[in-house]
Amino acid sequence: MTAPSLPSSRADADLLRPLRATVWITACLAALAVLLLVVTHHRAHAHDPLKSPELAALKQRLLDEPRNEELKQQIRDLDLALRRSHSRLLNFYAFGRWLLLGSSVSFVLSAKAWGKLHARPPAPRLSPDAAERFTRLVRLARLTASTTALCTLIALTAIVVAATSPLPSAATDPEKLLARLRGEALEVPPLPPLAEFAANWPRFLGPAGNAFTPVAPEPLTFDAASGDGLLWKVSLSSPGFNSPIIWGNRVFLSGGDAARRSVAAFDLATGQRVWEQAVTGVPGSPAKAPEIPESTGFAASTMATDGLRVYAIFANGDLAAFTLDGRPVWSKHLGVPQNQYGHANSLAVWEGRVIVQLDQGDADAGLSKLIAFDGASGRVAWQVPRKVPESWASPIVVEAAGRAQIITLAGEFVIAHSAGDGAELWRVQELHGEIAPSPIFAGGFVLAVSPNDKLMAIRPDGLGEVTKTHVVWHADDGIPDVTSPVSNGELVFLVTSYGLLSCFDVSSGKKLWEHECDTDVHATPAVAGKRVYVLGGKGKVVVVEAARELKELATFDLGEAIFASPAFRDGRMVIRTAKSLLCVGTPPATASGGTSP
């Protein structure tokens, strides 16, 4: 009679040594397998052959040197080596797994056998009082159970306290949040009435898009150097060819270069800079700005406002919205616009939506589109593709023929889209060249300029292709290539890049007069009351009377180059020069009171 597991026999004793050796060897093998797997995994994780930065760098280099055959061979060799090392890695994992499994199983088996030879038979000892032991045991167990329970409760409480979430918890809050995200007006103030829109200068070339304001600023002449006739003047730090816009007592403009794009607001009364916000961290925007010709720059597009927010777009494709007091609302990257000179189409707004004419590339590329973003949320309200090439004209939104229409120029076409859903309403195929002058709406006609070619008037009540039926008149004398036409509703004024100012009758297209301003002009002129302001590229300002007969009122030198079109409100004129922003007007004490139209 023996206990079953004593190493009693010689055979068992002989087994002990080799068994012990097996236990050690298999244990070491298993440990080695684990170590190898861990090290390999760590190294593969740090240098994933399939994410090799060297290969990416070589491929990038090939873009610059497309004919470098040696480089190609280098890429192929490296690619092959990397793929080989990837496959070696997978094979090694497979090998390591089986090595680990095999060695572990042998270890457990030999260790168990070894342990069995070493096992001692049970030798029960006389135990003290079982009842007392039991009582002590359950007391301790109650203590550990209570401790575990307490730890659990403390942990749960800590989790409850620590957990915070941007997701609102109360039942009503999600509704508000959803409303905000949907852009619904729960607490959102309603859009300002149209009258207020008309009293401000909410976009490029004013509320109606024809650069007209009924009240002319006083005095007639002004000078940047001396400050004569100016209410204020501030210098600008950020470059940009965009024109200022005005809402209430704020002037907004954007500026930027490859390094930084920003939006700034100035006080209309004092010129004091109220806020400036950089447009950064736009999701998806490339870290390295694209190359944009300096003649256009990153901030050629004029901003727009709906009276609640201001919107700005930059040539790198960033679109941003801010509240009037400068709080960022949303920003989006629309992809870098493919535009040889840089994106310059200004923004338009309509019923709380911001409209982006994103024309780019060739007509065949199908990249161009017209997008309406919800102003509150930045969500795309609608977007329509446009089979047109890149363009530089700004869209206008007009109420005509009982429809809200977005008038756009690009390539060979004047195209009107429905403002509600972007559907195309009508088109005229009569443009040529690089389309920079923007369309205007005057005297019931859409006026469009084919650069250096002709001015045409189109009745906006057509549907479909209306080239043959709706073009009312043409004019082909003194046609600009960059600046847009302007109008007071009765007369149309055009100024060419070399300074020839022409006046046409809007209803007939008959040329009434022309005037040589004798300066190069890059900025669209403006009509204020009875005056036409022509702002020259070198700072020469020519003021003529907005009348059927030519009458020059003044010619003087501002002293600073001008590339942007002026903005007006309440008898004040805000001009952006190359270096500064200045305001023409008389101080409030002597100002002639309210001037809303």
Partner 1 sequence: MSHPAPNPSSVSRRQFLREGMRLAAMTGAGAFVGLSSGRTGAREHYVWQIDPTKCVYCGNCATACVLKPSAVKCVQAYEICGYCDLCTGYFVPEPNALNTGAENQVCPTAAIERKFIEDPYYEYNIIESRCIGCAKCVEGCTRFGNGSFYLQVRHDRCVNCNECSIARVCAGDAFRRVPASNPYFLKTSAH
Partner 2 sequence: MRALFPRSLFPALMGLLAALAGAASEMRFPPPEFETDYTMPGITTPPPRSLAMEYVDTALLVTALGLAAWLVHRRRSRRGLVALSVFSLVYFGFIRTGCICPIGAPQNVALGMFDPGYTIPLTALAFFLVPLVFSLFWGRTFCAAVCPHGALQDLVLIKPVKVPLWIEQGLGIVPFIFLGLGIWLAATGTAFIICRYDAFIPLFRMNGSVFGLALGGIFLAAALFIGRPFCRFLCPYGALLRLGSIVSRKAVRITPDYCTQCRLCEHSCPFGAIREPVKLPVTPNALAPERRRLTWLILALPVLIAGGAWLGSKLSVAAAKMHPTVALAEQFLAGDKAPAPATALPTPETRALGRAAETAPELIAAASEVRRRLGIGGWWFGGWVGLVIGARLISLSLRPNRTDFEPDRGACYACGRCYLACPNERVRVGLITPAEAAALQAHAPVPRPDVKTS
Distances from the Cα of 283 to the Cα of 160, 279, 296, 331, 403, angstroms: 33, 11, 24, 8, 36
Nearer CB in complex with partner 2: 11/159: 159
Residue span binding partner 2 (CB under 8 A) among the ranges 206-214, 282-290, 536-544, 557-565: 282-290
Residue span binding partner 2 (CB under 8 A) among the ranges 360-368, 404-412, 453-461, 586-594: 360-368
24 binds, among partner 2, partner 1, none (CB under 5 to 8 A by kind): none
- Is residue 46 at the binding interface for partner 2, with CB under 8 A as the rule? no
Provide the strand spans (E) within 94-139.
Answer: none
Provide the angle, in degrees to the nearest 10, between the axes of the packed helices 69-118 and 53-64.
170
Nearer CB in complex with partner 1: 52/221: 52
Of 284, 293, 433, 597, the one binding partner 2 by CB under 8 A: 284
Residue 316's SS3 state is coil
Cα–Cα dist 494/501, whole Å: 6
- Is residue 597 at the binding interface for partner 2, with CB under 8 A as the rule? no
- Is residue 159 at the binding interface for partner 2, with CB under 8 A as the rule? yes
Residue 576's SS3 state is strand
59 binds, among partner 2, partner 1, none (CB under 5 to 8 A by kind): partner 1
Nearest Cα to Cα of residue 536 among 555, 552, 523: 523
**Alpha-carbon Rg of the chain, whole angstroms?**
39
Nearer CB in complex with partner 1: 90/178: 90
CB contact set of 74 (below 8 Å; sequence gap of 6+): 58
- Is residue 260 at the binding interface for partner 2, with CB under 8 A as the rule? no
Q: Which residues is 429 bridged to in the sheet?
A: 413
Q: Contact at 8 Å (CB) between 7 and 117?
A: yes
Interacting residues toward partner 1 by CB under 8 A: 50-51, 58-59, 62-63, 66, 71-72, 75-76, 79-80, 82-83, 86, 90, 93
Nearer CB in complex with partner 2: 374/412: 374
Neighbours of 509 (CB within 10 A): 19
83 binds, among partner 1, partner 2, none (CB under 5 to 8 A by kind): partner 1
Q: Which two tokens stand for residue 406?
A: 């977005």
- Is residue 182 at the binding interface for partner 2, with CB under 8 A as the rule? yes
Note the helical H segments in 446-586.
Answer: 467-470
Nearer CB in complex with partner 2: 83/112: 112
Q: Contact at 8 Å (CB) between 537 and 561?
A: yes
Q: Helix (H) and strand (E) counts for the chain?
A: 7, 34
Nearer CB in complex with partner 2: 171/259: 171
Within residues 191-250, the interface with partner 2 by CB under 8 A covers none
Within residues 93-112, the interface with partner 2 by CB under 8 A covers 97, 101, 108, 111-112
Q: Kindly determine how many residues on this chain lie close enough to bind partner 2 according to the rule CB under 8 A.
A: 80
Query: Which strands, in side-by-side order, build the sheet including 526-528?
Result: 212-213, 526-528, 531-535, 540-545, 552-557
Pairing status of strand 552-557 against strand 540-545? antiparallel
- Is residue 334 at the binding interface for partner 2, with CB under 8 A as the rule? yes
Provide the strand spans (E) within 424-539.
Answer: 424-429, 440-442, 445-450, 454-458, 464-465, 471-475, 486-487, 491-495, 500-505, 511-516, 526-528, 531-535
Minimum distance, C-beta of residue 366 to partner 1, in the bound complex (Å): 11
Minimum distance, C-beta of residue 148 to partner 2, in the bound complex (Å): 5
Residue 104's SS3 state is helix
Residues in the chain: 597
- Is residue 31 at the binding interface for partner 2, with CB under 8 A as the rule? no
Of 13, 181, 185, 463, the one binding partner 2 by CB under 8 A: 181
Minimum distance, C-beta of residue 383 to partner 2, in the bound complex (Å): 8
Of 166, 587, 593, 594, the one binding partner 2 by CB under 8 A: 166
Neighbours of 131 (CB within 10 A): 8
Of 33, 231, 263, 282, the one binding partner 2 by CB under 8 A: 282
Minimum distance, C-beta of residue 105 to partner 2, in the bound complex (Å): 9
Within residues 451-480, the interface with partner 2 by CB under 8 A covers none
- Is residue 122 at the binding interface for partner 2, with CB under 8 A as the rule? yes
Minimum distance, C-beta of residue 59 to partner 1, in the bound complex (Å): 6
39 binds, among partner 1, partner 2, none (CB under 5 to 8 A by kind): none
- Is residue 91 at the binding interface for partner 2, with CB under 8 A as the rule? no
Nearer CB in complex with partner 2: 146/272: 146
Nearer CB in complex with partner 1: 82/500: 82
- Is residue 433 at the binding interface for partner 2, with CB under 8 A as the rule? no
CB contact set of 59 (below 8 Å; sequence gap of 6+): 75
Q: CA angle, 507 as apex, 502 and 510 as ends, to 5°?
A: 40
- Is residue 143 at the binding interface for partner 2, with CB under 8 A as the rule? yes
Nearer CB in complex with partner 1: 94/185: 94
Helix (H) or strand (E) holding 263: strand 261-267
- Is residue 125 at the binding interface for partner 2, with CB under 8 A as the rule? yes
Phi, psi (5° rounding) for residue 153?
-65, -40
Of 46, 131, 259, 589, the one binding partner 2 by CB under 8 A: 131
- Is residue 25 at the binding interface for partner 2, with CB under 8 A as the rule? no
Residue span binding partner 2 (CB under 8 A) among the ranges 141-149, 220-228, 426-434, 569-577: 141-149
Cβ-count burial of 309 within 10 angstroms (0-12 exposed, 13-18 middle, 19+ buried)?
Answer: buried
**How far, rounded to the nearest angstrom, does the alpha carbon of residue 199 sit from its chain's CA centroid?**
29
Nearer CB in complex with partner 2: 11/130: 130
Cα–Cα dist 170/177, whole Å: 11
Of 91, 147, 295, 340, the one binding partner 2 by CB under 8 A: 147
